[in-house]
Structure 1
Amino acid sequence: MEIFQIIILSLIQGITEFLPISSSAHLILPHQVLGWSDQGLAFDVAVHFGSLLAVVTYFRKDVWSLICDGLGGFRSGQFSDDGRLAWLIVLATIPAGLVGLTFKGFIETHLRSSAVIATTTILFGALLWWADVRGTRREGLAQLTWKKALMIGAAQALALIPGTSRSGITMTAGLMLGMKREAAARFSFLMSIPVIALSALLLTLELLEAPAVDWSSILLGVVLSGISAYLCIHFFLQFISRIGMAPFAIYRFILGGALFLMIWMA
């Protein structure tokens, strides 16, 4: 890819990975509007790794505490709040892992069309708005139970369908279960760490069988996606309690409508 394409796609991936607006819906636009070719496996690895570095760096203190308290509680049988949260994140990761391994081929073959992405962008945008309006928004992470964590994890598995948005569907599930906006967002971001790590690992294993890789483009993709994702997480958590989910839902309606318009005009 040209440098300009790398910059644009890296920023798109970094910004949309953690906002509830679907990264896959945005990455299809350059292809549809500008006729850009698919970015390729190596670039996918780069931007996933950049997003992973961003979320781990931003929550570095939390991640360290979750690991230490989670392992310590497992050995002693006495769990602190962070130790308990660590194992809830592990539990919530299982559904997406199982569905991903089982249906990865089917999803990539049958559910990556523009029509599917446009439909899920609008449908899950409406569900996000409804959950934000109807949710009680009373509970924090301390009130999260294993049943609710598993339900949010099951919702995360739906994000394997392009256009759904991993962060969007997990925040939607959290809000529907009575979580506060910031708590739902924070749990969604922490849940993303094992999922993105596993995804990056699988892509890397596939990449090892690929031909020569342009490492300068890889490095640029990692840096740009990582910086943009870090800033996105920071500002989203700063403002989400005040602005709510309505702006993101409306944006999804516009984006989905634009995709349907492009399909109709094609």
Structure 2
Amino acid sequence: MDYLYPLILGLIQGLTEFLPISSTGHLVLIAKFFHIPSNLAFDAFIHLGSFLAILIYFWKDLREIWSLKWYIIVSAIPGALAGFTLEHLIENHLRSPLMVAFFLSFMSLPLLLGERFGKKENTLRALSFSKALGIGLFQALALLPGTSRSGITISAGLILGLKREDSARYSFLAGAPLILGAGLYEGLKLIKTNSIPLTYALTGFFSSALFSFLAIAFLLNFLKKHSLYPFILYRILLALLVVLIYIL
């Protein structure tokens, strides 16, 4: 088996997990158009690399993160429930390039609304349980391929008045329990079914960890001075490209 494939998938997943452009959507498109072996279980497993990157990057901020633990748990609950109940529906009916294109474009709207109308003045100290739940309800939508978990939660944070950088920081932290849970669950399925060799999966894991770390560092620095509009434009252009490929 060609181990260049999991390296590429890990790179794509790592970079797009934290940039608001949808890691799952990109994995579906790459696997489809370049015929790279992948499935939902493998995609979820290499997300564990992203979880490792979160731990490493925010290790120095553990005290601050501990103070947010209950908010993070509240934000994770809707996504966990949605994932548990909708996994088979998504796997069997929504992981197609055209569905990815639809959600890439449609789910750019919350990013646009957050960027356009969000006050962008509050820090994480302004969080409350109601706001954490609101972010969590948005996060549940990230199951739809092409939505982007980071994108939809950053949007929610902006709509609720958080600064761009604080929205991104909380987005990464709020997604960590879901990334860990889904990765472990699907990892066990991979081991039991042996549908993809463990060495193949681990190659994707370490590639994902490296590029996830780089993506976190880049986005947090980028959002200190820049808006989300470049990502919105990218999402729409990619969706149009996918549709054009199918039409032509």
TM-score, normalization by structure 1:
0.87
**Cross-structure match for 1:27:** 27
Question: Which amino acid in 2 is paired with 1:30?
Answer: I
CA deviation map 1:8-57 (0-9, x unaligned):
111001100111001122113323432x1432467435522211111111
Q: C-alpha distance in 2, partners of 1:216/1:208?
A: 11
**Cross-structure match for 1:157:** 140
Q: C-alpha distance in 2, partners of 1:212/1:136?
A: 47
Q: C-alpha distance in 2, partners of 1:167/1:230?
A: 14
**Offset of residue 223 of structure 1:** 1.7
CA deviation map 1:163-210 (0-9, x unaligned):
100000000111111110011000000011101011012102212321
Q: Which deviates more, 88-97 or 57-66?
A: 57-66
The answer on whether the counterparts of 1:121 and 1:163 sit within 8 Å (CA) in structure 2 is: yes
**Cross-structure match for 1:145:** 128
Aligned positions, number: 248
The answer on whether the counterparts of 1:42 and 1:218 sit within 8 Å (CA) in structure 2 is: no
Counterpart of 2:27 in 1: which secondary structure?
helix
**Cross-structure match for 2:11:** 11
Q: C-alpha distance in 2, partners of 1:214/1:31?
A: 17
**Offset of residue 212 of structure 1:** 7.2
The answer on whether the counterparts of 2:154 and 2:171 sit within 8 Å (CA) in structure 1 is: yes
Question: Which amino acid in 2 is paired with 1:28?
Answer: V
| 168, 185, 188: which one aligns with 2:151 | 168
Question: Which amino acid in 2 is paired with 1:53?
Answer: L
The answer to whether structure 1 residue 263 and structure 2 residue 240 are counterparts is no
The answer on whether the counterparts of 1:118 and 1:260 sit within 8 Å (CA) in structure 2 is: yes
Q: Which deviates more, 213-222 or 88-97?
A: 213-222
Counterpart of 1:17 in 2: which secondary structure?
helix
State the identity %: 41
Q: CA-atom RMSD, angstroms? A: 1.8
Q: Which deviates more, 89-98 or 99-108?
A: 99-108
The answer on whether the counterparts of 2:45 and 2:182 sit within 8 Å (CA) in structure 1 is: no
**Cross-structure match for 1:61:** 60
Matches within 5 A, 1:221-236: 221-236=204-219
The answer to whether structure 1 residue 39 and structure 2 residue 22 are counterparts is no
Q: C-alpha distance in 2, partners of 1:202/1:262?
A: 34
**Cross-structure match for 1:249:** 232
Which sections of structure 1, spanning at least 5 residues, go unmatched? Answer: 68-81
In structure 2, do the counterparts of structure 1 residues 219 and 110 end up closer, same or farther at CA, with 3 Å as the change threshold?
closer
The answer on whether the counterparts of 1:41 and 1:207 sit within 8 Å (CA) in structure 2 is: no
Which sections of structure 2, spanning at least 5 residues, go unmatched? Answer: none
Q: C-alpha distance in 1, partners of 2:140/2:227?
A: 24
